[in-house]
Chain A
Amino acid sequence: MNLTLKIWRQAGPKAKGEMVTYQVTDISPDMSFLEMLDVLNEDLNAKGEEPIAFDSDCREGICGMCGLMISGKAHGPEVTTTCQLHMRSFHDGDEITIEPWRADAFPVIKDLVVDRSAFDRLIQAGGFISVNTGAAPEAHSVPVPKPRADRAFDAAKCIGCGACVAACPNASAMLFLGAKVTHLGEFPQGQPERSARVVKMLTQHDLEGFGGCTNIGECTNACPKEIQQDVINQLNIDLRHALQQMT
């Protein structure tokens, strides 16, 4: 199939960007979206134009490195990562706009590549259970009821891609944050730091310039790992508990 692509090009972090139109031809429906961009890049390279920069690594939907806003939808029209999106989701003659994640907390580095290091700092602020290597008790000394373990796992599936931020009208990272708080909060091991964790992570979240959440739910619709909105609910509860402990 043949497609018209409108792609954001931006030479560097401070440069002014613009949408540029490209045509691609003979795209196979079996290609992944990123392979389609690879083909375009080979083309550009042959013409002597600099290829379009975009992030990807595992290309199997688990590392969270890829992520494009495709015609206004984070990761495109399917519930999956950009790298797992295939061209059979498009039609011959389609016009596709491709933009980077937009959030001031995720500044553009080049073309479609953004800086998501804010997520690392959220984790640094408290997204962990403090246990030094060697200090762990025997694994079976703390049983965890299966429903709680399962809920923790569902939240822990987050791949840190940032689609939730990209899709949220407020550019809030609350789904990412809620997923982490829920994951660790479901475990007995996660209890001692529970209140401190949510307060520190939230403070960092606000400091990074993400928006506040107004429970819109676009994040969960965009999330390739289908993290549910109840993790945000959980985060709110944890914060309320933290408030109660304060007084």
Chain B
Amino acid sequence: MAINTSSLTRQARASRTTVFMKILMAVSGALFVLYVLVHMYGNLKIFAGTEAFDEYALHLRTMFTPILPFGGMLWIIRVVLLVAVVVHIWAAFTLWARAQGARSTRYVAKEAAKRTLKTKWMRWGGVALVLFIIWHLLQFTIVKFNVGSENAGHSAGALVVSSFQVWWVTLIYLLAMVALALHLYHGVWSASQTLGWANTARARRAWKATAHVLAYVIAVGFIVPPLAILAGIVKG
């Protein structure tokens, strides 16, 4: 008889699986990581003074001109990021909902609940990050409202300095960076696994270490400028 490998799932498509969804998440997550790395580097320019910072902001907009119009590259980055965010969030919520439905009766033992901590911090941490990003964009990109006392004019650098002199603004950023660190702490390793880069015990250990280092470096790298501003080390 002919070999017959047909089975229950007649219409199996690789792009319809949860693993594909994960790959989308990992790719979008990886883009975020790249972005925050560059962004963090840019933020550190504040230590070179507000002018240097403004120069950097300008550079972002003049990149690849005249091939692209003024601000073109920035817009490309924005679109890519926006698409990535939509995909990332869509996939995160789909998986979240699936997982909810996959265990509708929970364990009674408390020990079991502890084990779900990581998923909780990824998901709620992600939500926190989104809220933060909305706030952050309103503050620095879209509305550019100044909660600080000094007049920032059109200088991004001055706006930043003036904002972080307000203690609660810095606190919000501090908390956001904790959320970001936690997200990357698991996220970076997770992405390596999803993308199939952790196929041996050694690679797995290496990626876990990388994730820890990245999470740490990024969070610290981001939070140093606001703290420095609040402490009065960096002034306008």
Contacts and interface: CB of A to CB of B under 8 A. Distances in A.
A230 B201 contact: yes
A124 interface: yes
Contact of A97 (B12, B109, B122): B109
A111 interface: no
Contacts of A97: 108-109
Interface string A201-230: 011111101111111101000000000111
B154 interface: no
Nearest to A18: B108
A188 to B, nearest CB: 17
Given A104-B103, A199-B14, A240 B196 contact: yes
B23 interface: yes
A169 B19 contact: no
Contacts of B194: 215, 236
B13 A130 contact: no
Nearest to B4: A130
B198 interface: yes
B17 A209 contact: no
A99 B107 contact: yes
Interface string A33-70: 00000000000000000000000000000000000010
Given A132-B3, A216-B119, A243-B15, A233 B9 contact: no
A20 B25 CA distance: 43
A105 B104 CA distance: 10
B139 interface: no
Given A99-B108, A200-B12, A218 B198 contact: no
Interface of A: 6, 8, 19, 69, 71-73, 97, 99, 102-105, 121, 124-126, 130-132, 167, 169-172, 193, 195-196, 198-200, 202-207, 209-216, 218, 228-230, 232-237, 239-240, 242-243, 246
Given A203-B12, A215-B186, A237-B199, 13 more contacts: A8-B108, A71-B111, A72-B114, A125-B12, A169-B118, A170-B99, A170-B119, A203-B9, A207-B9, A210-B102, A214-B99, A236-B23, A242-B14
